[in-house]
Structure 1
């Protein structure tokens, strides 16, 4: 482990433009449940609600929001961990120019990384938007209304459907973040994969793209991934311990 941390430290020191690609593994260290881990993932316990069903069915919308409110205590209690703080330090030092994340919890921003340097491929669950006019709505306001009527209120601006600002199953990936991620990968000389199983495409294609364009590839994940064989460094351990040790963050 010490040798791996030393190697990672050297790779970071030698890099000039690092792109971070983060997945659920960095957030589980803050107490946020994973969706896909075998045996413990949320989707093994309950069937995901597809976007088309959310739009078509009031009952599906009610269930989707019930699940969101059920997860709210864990979301509100979660704080950036050592791994998040290590990434934030690399951003402040100018080493990391972009953080591409599959996570929807906003913890990278909470760690101090500016919004414009975080590319959220799957959106953000800490607020909601109207599907018709994109007006932002706060979760607490929706929860208060839901608690009184057992129904989700309509958009205050246009009367449209409200949904967490996330990308659901069956929903198109947002083109803006995808384009920004592609550009960030093309500009990088080192890609750090933190806590992603690299199985969800098209998002998981970005680390592979970075490697093909000549960037170094480091994968830090507790389990094996499909790109381990082409990575320059693979470490199967906790993100906070390894990256925090390499960067010097407690």
Structure 2
């Protein structure tokens, strides 16, 4: 009787798998979610756990290590790399992340008297109380930050024709400064500027989205086309706790290797990442996920060394920093020349580090 029940269960699961596969061809991505979460969950669960109608768990890496990833990148199999990045790739530039105890943004918003830290980026709270957001916005871009080694490693992937796209949660614009434009923003808030002579009317300043608003349609169309073609997913500087960004790790084929470069392991078993979609670094069934625990800069520097790109990366950073410094000096000189006679421009205090130069990531 038990065997009969088991056979019936398997038959029913196979039927659901066929239904799930058929539904993919008839439905498009909605603007409020990355695909159908329930259907994605069913398909991944059945294909990975029961081996029904899914891809086999073939190993693409010789070893589950950074060295194994480097060898894979050098092979003919790796042609389309997707990067998923968060605030951790910018912290070495002097930009705080969100969640680090003591130094993160969410631990330093007491002066705004918020009901909870995330409220400052919530569209509902913003419509009623825009003042805290505008006060913080004035602190976001007072100075010029330089891209990090991690940013330039991604640029190197782009220059070598390996970067499919970079999905970023950051609004610090350092990806653009670093020189790679194949990005897809996944941040969850947007800047607004108040229009003159109005009380509740706002116009967009940057192409970013508040908590509580839908991501743009191009985000979902990019996900739909990019991830099935991904040969390697590199995740850096993110806790993978915010949706829909966190669920993107499950969109690549089941044979695609996934590398996490972060100070701590992420994407394992959180409420936002169901266990069958989570990354598996340590179990006996692990076959494609690699965690390299380090700062993003150190991880990228080590990976570049294993790839034989270390000197090229260092030369790129040196050259680009010189360009930024030269541009800054030219801009400062031009500003001084345009200054009216008889007025002296107040000089910024450079003796103390700026603690409020914040950029928002996840």
TM-score interval for Structure 1 and Structure 2 normalised by the shorter chain? 0.7 to 0.9
Is 1:107 the equivalent of 2:169?
no
Distance 1:155 1:106 in 2: 31
Distance 1:87 1:245 in 2: 14
Q: Which residue of 2 aligns with 1:54?
A: 126
- Higher mean C-alpha deviation, range 88-97 or range 175-184: 175-184
Q: Which of residues 263, 281, 299 is equivalent to 1:222?
A: 263
Runs of 4+ with >6 A deviation: none
Partner secondary structure for residue 12 of structure 1: helix
Q: Deviations over 1:130-151 (max 9, x none)?
A: xxxxxxxxxxxx6xxxxxxxxx
How has the CA–CA distance of structure 1 residues 187 and 124 changed in structure 2, closer, same or farther, with 3 Å as cutoff? Answer: farther
Q: Which of residues 207, 213, 237 is equivalent to 2:249?
A: 207
Shift of residue 4, structure 1, vs aligned partner: 4.8
Distance 1:163 1:202 in 2: 22
Shift of residue 77, structure 1, vs aligned partner: 2.4
Shift of residue 235, structure 1, vs aligned partner: 0.4
Which ranges in structure 1 are unaligned for 5 or more consecutive residues? 130-141, 143-151
Q: Deviations over 1:38-73 (max 9, x none)?
A: 443212333232202222x2xx22221110112322
Shift of residue 31, structure 1, vs aligned partner: 1.3
Q: Which residue of 1 aligns with 2:325?
A: none
Q: Which of residues 176, 179, 188 is equivalent to 2:218?
A: 176
Q: Which residue of 2 aligns with 1:239?
A: 296
Q: Which residue of 2 aligns with 1:185?
A: 227
- Higher mean C-alpha deviation, range 89-98 or range 63-72: 63-72
Distance 1:155 1:19 in 2: 45
How has the CA–CA distance of structure 1 residues 229 and 64 changed in structure 2, closer, same or farther, with 3 Å as cutoff? Answer: same
C-alpha contact 1:120 1:177 (8 A) present in aligned 2? yes
Shift of residue 95, structure 1, vs aligned partner: 0.8
Is 1:72 the equivalent of 2:141?
yes
Q: Looking at CA atoms only, which structure, 1 or 2, has the larger radius of gyration? A: 2
Q: Which of residues 179, 196, 199 is equivalent to 2:238?
A: 196
Query: Which has a greater percent of strand?
Result: 1
Alignment of 1:131-146 (within 5 A): none
Shift of residue 198, structure 1, vs aligned partner: 0.9
Q: Which residue of 1 aligns with 2:184?
A: 119
Is 1:25 the equivalent of 2:88?
yes
How has the CA–CA distance of structure 1 residues 178 and 105 changed in structure 2, closer, same or farther, with 3 Å as cutoff? Answer: farther
CA-based RMSD:
2.6
Q: State TM-score, norm by structure 1.
A: 0.76
C-alpha contact 1:154 1:161 (8 A) present in aligned 2? no
Alignment of 1:3-42 (within 5 A): 4-14=65-75, 15-42=78-105
Q: Which residue of 2 aligns with 1:85?
A: 152
Q: Deviations over 1:190-209 (max 9, x none)?
A: 10001111111111111222
Q: State TM-score, norm by structure 2.
A: 0.54
Partner secondary structure for residue 95 of structure 2: coil
